[in-house]
Structure 1
Amino acid sequence: MISRRNTLLVLALFASNILLAQDYAAYEVSAKNPFGLPNPKAPIQIKDYADLIGICDCTSESKNQDQTWAEPVAMTWTFKYIMNGTAVQDETIKADGSNSGSIRQYSADSARWYVHYYSITGTPPVLPAWEGNINKEKDKIVLYKDSPAPNGMAGNYRITFSDISKEGFNWLGEWVDKQETINFPLWRIKCKKRES
């Protein structure tokens, strides 16, 4: 027979577990918050992507081999908070089937964003990663990945989010030399917010 004291102890433990489970997932995607919420215990930089959170309708253009721009491809780009509001995930669905996405985490130790990219067009053993920060003076998010040019010249693949607002944003992927005196645009995307 269970004593009243043991019953109260079991009920207290059960209630404590429910509260912990609720706190553990309080900022996850839910019916009430379809894109999750930023966790107030996360670094304040989690809000760097606040205006991008939601669904955008976009056009994506990449360079052809002859250096002309290919025909635009329609896509949707969705950003949401994940990992209980401590990281950001984005996913693209493109009309040509070349879907992709990223996991975006901010490291307080290095004071930098790390962005791990994945794509349906390839499955590398290690995901490529970009790193960088928001440029508050120019209201841009700029990320870099070491990437030598085809001729071996040292450089980076630079990604820039610009014209960021609640209505949408622009995105540019380009190769730049290490001094950033040479830039070669490779991919550009324009997005308009559909839902936040």
Structure 2
Amino acid sequence: MKVQSILLFLLFPIYTSAQFIYEPSEVNPYGLPNPEAPTQLLDFAPLIGECHCKSETIKPDRTWAEPEDMVWKFKYIMNGTAVQDETLKKDGSHSGSIRQFIPDSTKWYVHYYSTSAPSPTLPTWEGNKKEDGKIVLYREQKAPNGMDGYYRLSFYDIDDKGFKWIGEWVDKTESVVFPTWKIDCSNGKLLSKD
């Protein structure tokens, strides 16, 4: 029994590295897409890697705050079947998301977490990649005046050099749009995904 346990212990790193070949590794620091995953996993393929970004939030007077430098990292997780991202900011207000595409609902589900607003349950956005190439996600949220609407997140201008992102409150018809946060990651990757 002890010999079997020792052998299993010694072989476990070889077994796990062969079994989980799509996980981030020294060779592929951002992981690889698992060919068994839904093809929609590749919606986020151009974002995989690290970008130097400028983050701006709206101030109470409705003017934009000074841009803040941040790094936004994207990688494949769960053996290449989902995507995780992480933002690193100088002020220590880091955040991230776990992104899974669920074929039964044909939607992305994005679970967000943050150091500035820890929560026992993670808020969730859902949405899809649109025909124009944008990835758009929604979460129900009332406006400060009580009007029903959504907080809408959009990735756009996506290419191999980077992307842009915006967070906006919109009413149910999306005719009223109030941007509150924008991030420009179009300056190119810090590290290549390859």
- Give your verdict on TM over 0.5: yes
**Which residue number corresponds to residue 121 of structure 1?**
116
**Which residue number corresponds to residue 49 of structure 1?**
44
**Which residue number corresponds to residue 131 of structure 1?**
126
Q: Distance in 1 between matches of 2:12 and 2:57?
A: 50
Change (3 A) 1:29 1:78: same
1:172-195 per-position Cα deviation (integer Å, ceiling 9, x unaligned): 000000100000000000003222
Q: Distance in 2 between matches of 1:37 and 1:166?
A: 16
Instruction: Give percent identity, aligned residues only.
Output: 58
**Which residue number corresponds to residue 4 of structure 2?**
none
Aligned residues: 183
- Please report how far the alpha carbon of residue 17 of structure 1 lies from its aligned counterpart in structure 2 after TM superposition: 7.8
Secondary structure of the structure 2 residue equivalent to 1:21: helix
**Which residue number corresponds to residue 172 of structure 2?**
178
- Please report how far the alpha carbon of residue 24 of structure 1 lies from its aligned counterpart in structure 2 after TM superposition: 2.8
Change (3 A) 1:26 1:130: same
Secondary structure of the structure 2 residue equivalent to 1:179: coil
**Which residue number corresponds to residue 151 of structure 2?**
157
- Please report how far the alpha carbon of residue 23 of structure 1 lies from its aligned counterpart in structure 2 after TM superposition: 4.3
Q: Distance in 2 between matches of 1:179 and 1:54?
A: 35
1:145-195 per-position Cα deviation (integer Å, ceiling 9, x unaligned): 000101110000000000000001000000000100000000000003222
Match of 1:194 among 178, 190, 194: 190
| Structure 2: unaligned runs, 5 residues or longer | 1-6
Match of 1:27 among 12, 22, 25: 22
Q: Distance in 2 between matches of 1:24 and 1:108?
A: 24
Secondary structure of the structure 2 residue equivalent to 1:117: strand
Confirm whether residue 147 of structure 1 aligns to residue 132 of structure 2. Answer: no
TM-score by length of 2: 0.89
| Structure 1: unaligned runs, 5 residues or longer | 1-10
